[in-house]
Amino acid sequence: MATRGINKLSALQVKKAKPDPDKMYKLSDGGNLYLRIDQSGSKYWIFNYTRPFLAKRNDLSLGTYPEVSLDDARTIRDEYKKLIKQGIDPAMERIETKSQKQKEAENTFRIVAEAWLYKREL
């Protein structure tokens, strides 16, 4: 019997979900969190939401199962819902965070490279 609301899936249901050779399908966990199962058997967590200010629906991938567990997917969904309530688009926030991490990594590499060059010149 299907339940209404949120956190409808169990870890066992997710693990045992089998592919349909004819089409891709989704299992709903509620709260706009879905497990998408492809014909190949690949399982992806999807968060479907309305983008703030644009009022358009968007699917945001949360990762693949089993790398991202059911509990992890629910935690990410809850974090994204908080961002949406603050008027922040989770997709844009994720891009910004990734860009910031990339800049930090570049700065680290640049500093190490400059130090190496400096020592080499001595």
Domain boundaries, the chain: 11-121
| Greater model confidence, 116 or 78 | 78
Predicted confidence at residue 1, as pLDDT, reads 44
Give the model confidence (pLDDT) of 50-77 as tens digits: 998 888 999 999 999 999 999 999 999 9
Distance separating alpha carbons of residues 38 and 97, to the nearest angstrom: 29
Report the predicted TM-score, pTM, of the whole model to 2 decimal places: 0.75
At 122, the pLDDT band (50, 70, 90 cuts) reads low
The reported pLDDT for the residue numbered 110 is: 76
DSSP secondary structure string, 2-71? ---SS----HHHHHH---BTTB-EEEEEETTEEEEE-TT--EEEEEEEEPTTT--EEEEEEEEETTS-HH
CATH code, 11-121: 3.30.160.390
Dist. CA 119–CA 100, nearest whole Å: 29
pLDDT in tens, 34-48: 999 999 999 999 999
Distances (CA, A) of 38 to 3, 12, 41, 64, 101: 24, 18, 5, 11, 31
